[in-house]
């Protein structure tokens, strides 16, 4: 929010008015923050997004979610506000590190499980980032996301599916961000773990095929490495889930799957199952 303050001051100093156009060129933080700054300055300037990372191309820059974190808590301050245009030029991916490419890939895996299993069938064969496939996957991901947000911009229903993996994932991401003795994770690294844990819940509650849960777990362990979560970390990670934006009246709402491409929304779980899912991942990482 301090950075937003700086940007609002700059807009003011440079005489931005309601006819100005803000161009947000960068990764997810930039397009989220730029959209927020533009939408709140003088009650709203127009803006366009030019995403330069895989993550922002396939997710953050599309769909009108703008905002910033509140301390370590993800995306707590913000509003829905659509850009005039999103310009995706995959040549920017030449400037993106392998680790950041893997981060964006996690969101494409999410579309695979929730909307089009062909995406997952392509990705699960990757031994490394395959740029030719990525080009096609970017296009397919944007088509899926656009279709979802055109139906449900404000996340009353269908759009919640796009939070699959994020209830657990955001809590892990925030925990690693604020812990002094842990190295921060990329968004996608945390979401990959979140999807494994939430598929485990799906297998327990809705009989989602356990072999698919296992196949995601072995892909993530091979492709992303393992995230070391200790028993002592669990209480704080569970506490952080209470800040998830999908929660209502203090209840944690999960997005689970009963089969590929079929989401169950607003599922509440008991504390023991929540812990067991985390243990399931932790055993995998030993």
Give the catalytic positions in this structure.
Answer: 43, 65, 107, 145, 155, 159, 163, 166, 170, 187
Q: Does 69 bind ligand GLY (CB under 6 A)?
A: no
> Strand pairing of 21-26 and 46-51?
parallel
DSSP, collapsed to helix, strand or coil, labels residue 124 as: coil
Query: Considering only CA atoms, which of 255, 131, 129, 148 is closest in space to residue 201?
Result: 255
Residue (61 or 122) nearer to ligand GLY, CB = 61
How far apart are alpha carbons 251 and 247 in whole angstroms? Answer: 5
Provide the minimum distance between the beta carbon of 65 and ligand GLY in the complex, in angstroms, as a whole number: 5
Give whole-number Cα distances, 230 to 223, 236, 273, in Å. 21, 11, 17
| Contact indicator for 105, 254 with CB cutoff of 8 Å | no
Q: Does 51 bind ligand GLY (CB under 6 A)?
A: no
Residue nearest to ligand GLY (CB): 162
How far apart are alpha carbons 32 and 26 in whole angstroms? Answer: 10
Q: How far is CA 53 from the centre of its chain?
A: 13
Provide the minimum distance between the beta carbon of 137 and ligand GLY in the complex, in angstroms, as a whole number: 16
Give whole-number Cα distances, 166 to 114, 189, 246, in Å. 13, 11, 10
Provide the minimum distance between the beta carbon of 126 and ligand GLY in the complex, in angstroms, as a whole number: 22
Q: Does 159 bind ligand GLY (CB under 6 A)?
A: yes
Stretch that binds ligand GLY, among 37-45, 58-66, 189-197, 226-234 (CB under 6 A): 58-66
Residue of 26, 27, 28, 63 interacting with ligand GLY (CB under 6 A): 63
Residue of 65, 102, 170, 245 interacting with ligand GLY (CB under 6 A): 65
Reading the block at residue 121, the tokens are 């069938």
| Contact indicator for 14, 61 with CB cutoff of 8 Å | no
How far apart are alpha carbons 285 and 212 in whole angstroms? Answer: 18
Residue (103 or 203) nearer to ligand GLY, CB = 103
Residue of 105, 162, 199, 263 interacting with ligand GLY (CB under 6 A): 162
Provide the minimum distance between the beta carbon of 110 and ligand GLY in the complex, in angstroms, as a whole number: 9
Residue (32 or 216) nearer to ligand GLY, CB = 32
Provide the minimum distance between the beta carbon of 149 and ligand GLY in the complex, in angstroms, as a whole number: 7
How many chain residues bind ligand GLY (CB under 6 A)? 5
Q: Does 59 bind ligand GLY (CB under 6 A)?
A: yes
User: What sign does the CA torsion over 130, 90, 188, 96 have?
Assistant: positive
How far apart are alpha carbons 108 and 136 in whole angstroms? Answer: 11
Binding mask 194-223 for ligand GLY (x = CB under 6 A): ------------------------------
| Contact indicator for 83, 44 with CB cutoff of 8 Å | no
Provide the minimum distance between the beta carbon of 221 and ligand GLY in the complex, in angstroms, as a whole number: 24
| Contact indicator for 277, 254 with CB cutoff of 8 Å | no
Stretch that binds ligand GLY, among 28-36, 44-52, 59-67, 240-248 (CB under 6 A): 59-67
- Chain contacts with ligand GLY (rule: CB under 6 A): 59, 63, 65, 159, 162
């Amino acid at each position: 929010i301090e950075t937003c303050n700086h940007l609002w001051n700059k807009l003011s100093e440079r005489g931005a008015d309601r006819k100005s156009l803000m161009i947000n060129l960068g990764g997810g933080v930039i397009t989220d923050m730029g959209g927020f700054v533009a939408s709140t300055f003088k009650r709203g300037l127009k803006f366009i997004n030019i995403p330069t990372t895989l993550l922002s191309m396939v997710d953050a820059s599309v769909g009108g979610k703008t905002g910033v974190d509140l301390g370590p808590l993800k995306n707590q301050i913000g509003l829905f506000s659509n850009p005039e245009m999103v310009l995706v030029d995959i040549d920017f991916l030449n400037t993106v590190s392998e680790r950041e490419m893997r981060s964006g890939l996690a969101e494409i895996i999410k579309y695979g499980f929730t909307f089009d299993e062909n995406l997952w069938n392509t990705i699960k064969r990757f031994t490394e980032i395959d740029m030719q496939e990525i080009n096609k996957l970017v296009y397919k991901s944007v088509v899926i996301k656009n279709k979802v947000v055109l139906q449900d911009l404000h996340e009353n229903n269908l759009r919640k599916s796009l939070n699959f993996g994020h209830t657990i994932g955001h809590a892990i991401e925030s925990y690693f961000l604020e812990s002094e003795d842990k190295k921060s994770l990329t968004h996608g690294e945390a979401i990959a773990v979140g999807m494994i844990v939430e598929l485990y819940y799906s297998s327990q509650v809705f009989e989602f095929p356990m072999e698919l849960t296992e196949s995601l777990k072995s892909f993530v362990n091979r492709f992303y490495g393992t995230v070391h979560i200790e028993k002592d970390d669990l209480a704080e990670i569970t506490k952080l889930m209470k800040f998830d934006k999908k929660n209502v009246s203090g209840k944690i709402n999960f997005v689970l799957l009963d089969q590929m491409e079929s989401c169950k929304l607003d599922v509440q779980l008991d504390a023991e199952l929540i812990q067991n899912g985390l243990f399931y991942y932790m055993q995998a990482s030993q």
